[in-house]
Structure 1
Amino acid sequence: MAHSNPPRRAHRGAAVALGIAAVLALPMFLPVAAHAAGAEPLCPQQQALRGVALDPTPALSESDPHASASIAAGALPPGVVLAPNGPGSFAFSGVPSSEGEYSFTVKVTLTDSAPRSAECSVSVTAAPTISRIQGSDRYDQAARVSKASFSSSELIYLANGEKFPDALSAGSVAGVHGAPLLLTQAGGVPSQTKAEIARLHPKDIVVVGGPLSVAQSVLDGLARDFPGTTVTRIAGADRYSGSRALITHPTFGVPRSPWLYLATGSSFPDALAASPAAITMNAPVLLVDGAKSTLSAEEYGVLAALTVTGIRIAGGTSSVSTSIESTLWGGPWTVERLSGSDRYAGSVALNQVFTSAPTVFLASGASFPDALSGGPAAGHASSPIYLVQPDCVPASVLRDIARVKAKKVVVLGGLGTLGKGVDALRSC
């Protein structure tokens, strides 16, 4: 039975080219002009949050015992200082205490050549409020995320919560349909999941995965417990064929999309972080065996069925091989890789489709259970998901939270997954 929820429209401006991922892996400063050999003045990060420590950054392009750095004009944000940081080194650091736009000139004085200067600016915005969605376990977590994000839904996607592949496949597709993703055990539906299904009162439940992931008795029980609801299984022989089957399903897949994201199916971070970005573009995330040298004929068939004109590879070459990327360049589509120096910077690269985001979500980059249901919820809110460490927020993520001018941060998971340092936006 077809549901009445229309697919989400693409986020305005989302199709802008994103070939900047490599830059995101680096601190956000650059030499301003070319000079003779020697230390050049550098600017600090351009966006900062009031009350959140600045990412310490050098003011010199290289250590130089003959150089000193100072503010020649204008003023740094209150709470931020430029000070010596070892022999021949100066750095910006501190905690901005006032919001506003600050412009200043960084001057480097050298004993063996003329002074050099750089014009810099820092925009300090209010720190976002922090809230947390946490459940007693991964099933309760998914139910709570759904309840916080969806007042109703005629369609629900249900996947095994004990392993991640089926849920990763379902995340972007559920988001395109404006539907939540709930989790189940292989042999039975947890009480929290049943309660959320009852609250949403869907017309359709799509079970993602084969009988080894979700037993037939579970589907029979759902049909019995929720009369009037149609239960449909979508599965493949493995995680990759399952991803293809879901995306190309005529009713519950993604019928057509000019964009498609590719992510490895062997680990969860890249596909998880890619889901909200893909959802804003009405696009699916296709799981592939990233170690292969090329996509399979069946995977190329998905690209043709969707009439894809642009492919975005989520993750570095250790996730999706250079060979796969190279062979894709021979097709009738553009190809770009969105990656960073690690999974945290990689999530920042993927989230450059968001020019602004009043709300952002933070999920563990080390543990998948609490984060699995977050993709559709974030996509439903036109919000990014950033991956963070267990008790701190990577500096690159903090910079991007400031860039999108987030007013609210939602932490996904309990304190055992993401500690109080994440609530405090402590930099790492």
Structure 2
Amino acid sequence: MQYADPAASARGVGERGALGEHRVLVQPVYWTGSEPGALDTTAVAEAIGSANTYYRTSTNSAMSVTLAQTRPWEQITLTAEEAASCDTEAIERETRKVAPDTPGVRKHLDIVFPETSACKFGALFSRGLTEAGDGVAFLNGQQQVAWNLIAYGIGSNSGLGMANSISCWTDAAHTTPVPLSDYCKAEPGGDPWDLMGWWHYGKVGKISAANLRRMGVLSDADFPEVTPGSGQYTFIRPLSAYRGQRGFAITVGDTRYTVEYRTPTDLDSWIDDATWTDPTGVVRTDPGGGVIVRMQDLASETPADTTVLDFHPDGKDVPTDRHPGLEPGEKWTSPDEVVRLEVVSATAKGASIKVDFPSLEKVERWSGADRYAASAAMSAKSFDPGVAVAYIASGEVYPDALSGAPVAGKDRGPVLLVEDDRLPGGIQAELRRLTPGRIVILGGPATVGTAVADKLEDYTSGGVSRLFGDDRFATSAAISRDAFDPGVPTVYIASGRIYTDALSGAPVAGKTATPVLLVDTDAIPASIAAELTRLKPGRIIVMGGTSTITAKVETELRRYTSGGVLRYSGADRFDTSAAIAHENYNPGLAVVYVASGRVFPDALSGAPIAGMTRGPVLLVDTDAVPPAIDVELERLKPRRIVVLGGPATVSERVRAVLGSYLP
């Protein structure tokens, strides 16, 4: 068996790169007994030569391996404890005292010692790139100085991950084998082709496309990233080809799928030498080729490790007798329905593959060409003509709309975003469609100018009014004063300096017909204090952590209520968003709204809709679903998810992942 330090892949490629000449110094050492017989230097040179041939062939001569020197045996000194445990760090430390340095950038120290049963590895242990700037591998026994072990050590020390496989079943009882599920058993080194596996077939195929890309052999054009979107076709050449696209990757959440096409040529010429009858009775080559799919867990301690999927599983714990690749006419859909692959055709020249993302179809997206068009689109999706009121707020700043969103939700009217001196065309069209009974501007003339206010008169017969104050806090108080009577059950408090906490809190306030009031980080503005005195809330809830609203403010808020002060917060904006939802929504929701936690406009227009439809707004990163949001979506089990905003703010990759939370 061969093993690699789990952190080796993270240290491997680094600034030194994997391509170019790799120089290997072979240093035999012993620490007990008499000096062993001399190493067969001819055999060592042949092993290095074979490793060189393999890497040059696999990388199109972009990487080579040369023998710097085969050294004579040297005796090193280990403590009894170090010897008994085969302490590789101690062996390396003492070996460096007797081994000369090797010139060159990409250098490797292969330490050979007499076969030692105390070592937990059977043949090879590779430590990865060391602080000394070289790669270190340990060969347990002179007979292990073989080309494939040397090549494996160089690969591990250059940042290549272990090539694994898995066996999966439909359930915990192992009823039916499947390519991938929640019931899988890992098979370390089980990849039948890759150098970084355990060579169960006795032969080694070409380095996987994922590893060739990591090394820099394949460029972005040779191995592109496929972005989730509508169905698309791609043509990939065999991995053994020396030009053209030779695979692609799909990253969804923390999972990366890599796809390549294997044919029995070049280093893979042996893969069709045997046959195997699959569980359906079809005779296939063993391990054969076809379209190969591997996974990487980017959140693991070993993100460079790859795991090959077996598309013709038999559920038997046998590393051979199988045919993992997809053939023409076959298709596979990931269990979460995020990724679907179909092999349309495959010849010696290449494979045509259809890639689509079924889960995308489950998740709606409300968006437009810009924040104003998106605002109009959200309104059009949610409100019929003849609304009693439409609220207008600036799309350039957020405070006014944050306080207005709960009011709009309570009044079942939209919040439409405008520029300070212009009424965008999309908003004009939406106002014509809505024919609101009246229009209310949130904020003063500095945020929504008088020219815009005058223009708004054309779209209602009920007049245009404005709610504002001298600053964002006074405006927040004015909006609350106009909409809420004293004795409200709850007042929500959010920072007037950042928008993230209130984006998730506003729908809760809208759902319960209660206000959101803005405060400063370390003070309660006078206008807000006066409004709290007037409202006499049953309780107060602070949204966000102490970095946005201090403990001092929380303490001062207690004087305005007899029901106590609570705080909803988390480690960051995403954790806080999840915490707010967790406290206010039960599982089985009809709808969940998802918006970017990096920008505010989309959620400003979406918040009143969420309040009106009694669904939360959960914040995500542009290209990832944060862990806290993942947990909350699993708990909520929504029947529908709506993304607020375009792919520039919430990517199609995130949208595809969101589909996996739906039934």
TM over 0.5: yes
Counterpart in 2 of 1:132?
365
- Classify 1:86/1:142 alpha carbon distance in 2 versus 1 (closer, same or farther; 3 Å): closer
Aligned counterparts of 1:159 and 1:272: Cα–Cα separation in 2: 15
Distance 1:267 1:98 in 2: 35
Aligned residue for 2:266?
none
Structure exhibiting the larger radius of gyration computed from Cα positions: 2
TM-fit CA distance, 1:259: 0.5
* Map 1:31-110 → 2, pairs under 5 A: 78-81=181-184, 97=335
Aligned mate of 2:577, from 321, 325, 347: 347
> Is the contact between residue 491 and residue 539 of structure 2 (CA under 8 Å) also seen in structure 1?
yes
Matching residue within 496, 517, 542 for 1:313? 542
Aligned to 1:385: 617
3-state SS in 1 of match to 2:405:
helix
Deviating more after overlay: 295-304 vs 394-403: 295-304
In 2, Cα distance between equivalents of 1:384 and 1:128: 21
Against the structure 1 CA distance between its residues 197 and 296, is the aligned structure 2 distance closer, same or farther, given a 3 Å change threshold?
same
What secondary structure sits across from 2:603 in the alignment? coil
Question: What's the offset of the Cα at 1:261?
Answer: 0.6
Partner secondary structure for residue 332 of structure 1: coil
Q: Which residue of 1 aligns with 2:446?
A: 212
Aligned to 1:185: 419
Check the 8 A contact 1:149/1:380 in 2, yes or no: no
Counterparts in 2 of 1:241 and 1:392: CA distance versus 1, 3 Å: same
Aligned partners of 2:399 and 2:493: how far apart in 1? 14
Name 2:564's counterpart in structure 1: 334
Question: Which amino acid letter does the alignment assign opposite residue 209 of structure 1?
Answer: G
Do the aligned partners of 2:622 and 2:654 also contact (CA within 8 Å) in 1? Answer: yes
Instruction: State the distance in 2 between where 1:242 and 1:169 align.
Output: 8
* 1:154-173 equivalence runs, <5 A: 154-173=388-407
Q: Distance in 2 between matches of 1:297 and 1:237?
A: 12
Q: Distance in 2 between matches of 1:177 and 1:198?
A: 19
Q: Indicate if the aligned counterparts of 2:518 and 2:528 stay in contact, CA closer than 8 A.
A: no
Q: Is the 8 A contact 1:391 1:421 kept in 2?
A: yes
In structure 1, the gaps of 5 or more residues are 1-72, 88-93, 100-125
Q: What do residues 18-65 of structure 1 show as CA deviations (whole Å, max 9, x unaligned)?
A: xxxxxxxxxxxxxxxxxxxxxxxxxxxxxxxxxxxxxxxxxxxxxxxx
- 1:263·1:290 contact (CA, 8 Å) conserved in 2? no
1:368-379 aligned at under 5 Å gives the runs 368-379=600-611
What's the offset of the Cα at 1:284? Answer: 1.3
CA offset at residue 81 of structure 1? 4.8
Tell me: CA distance 1:82–1:373, structure 2 relative to 1, closer, same or farther (3 Å): farther
1:336 is aligned with what amino acid?
L
The question of whether the paired residues in 1 share the 8 Å contact of 2:519 and 2:525 is answered with no
Structure 2 unaligned segments of length 5 or more: list them: 1-170, 175-179, 189-299, 303-308, 310-332, 338-358
| 1:310 Cα deviation from its structure 2 partner | 1.0
Say whether the 8 Å CA contact 2:391–2:441 is kept in structure 1: yes
Shift of 1:169: 1.8
Does the residue aligned with 1:162 lie in a helix, a strand or coil? coil
Q: Deviations over 1:51-86 (max 9, x none)?
A: xxxxxxxxxxxxxxxxxxxxxx97699424587988
Residue-by-residue CA offset, 1:294-319 (whole Å, 9 max, x unaligned): x2443232223223011111000011
Structure 1 residue 176: Cα displacement:
1.6
Query: Over aligned residues, Cα RMSD in angstroms?
Result: 2.8
| Structure 2 Cα separation of the partners of residues 176 and 227 of structure 1 | 20
Contact 1:240 1:288 in 2 (8 A): yes
Matches within 5 A, 1:112-261: 129-152=362-385, 153-223=387-457, 225-226=458-459, 228-249=461-482, 253-256=483-486, 257-261=488-492
CA contact (8 A) 2:438 2:460 kept: no
Higher relative contact order (CA 8 A, sep 6+): 1
Partner of 2:499: 268
TM-score (norm: length of structure 2): 0.45
Aligned to 1:285: 516
Residues 383-420 of structure 1 show CA distances to partners (whole Å, capped at 9, x for unaligned) of 10000000111122122122122021111111111112
Task: State how far apart, in whole Å, the 2-side matches of 1:310 and 1:289 are.
Answer: 19
Question: Does residue 398 of the first structure (1) align with residue 501 of the second (2)?
Answer: no
State how many pairs are aligned. 317
Q: Is the 8 A contact 2:436 2:460 kept in 1?
A: no
In the TM superposition, residue 167 of structure 1 has moved relative to its aligned partner by 1.5
Equivalent residues of 1:154, 1:200 under 8 A apart: no
Residue 248 of structure 1 aligns to a residue in which SS?
A: helix
Matches of 1:397 and 1:370, distance apart in 2: 18
Tell me if structure 2 keeps the 8 A contact 1:79–1:96. Answer: no
Conserved 8 A contact 2:172-2:183:
no
For 2:422, give the aligned amino acid. Answer: G
Q: For 1:96 and 1:344, locate their aligned partners in 2 and report how far apart those are by CA, in whole Å.
A: 27
What is the SS of the residue equivalent to 1:136?
Answer: coil
1:226 deviation in Å? 2.5
Cα gap change, 1:80 to 1:226, in 2 (>3 Å):
same
Is contact 1:129-1:407 (8 Å) kept?
A: no
Aligned to 1:58: none
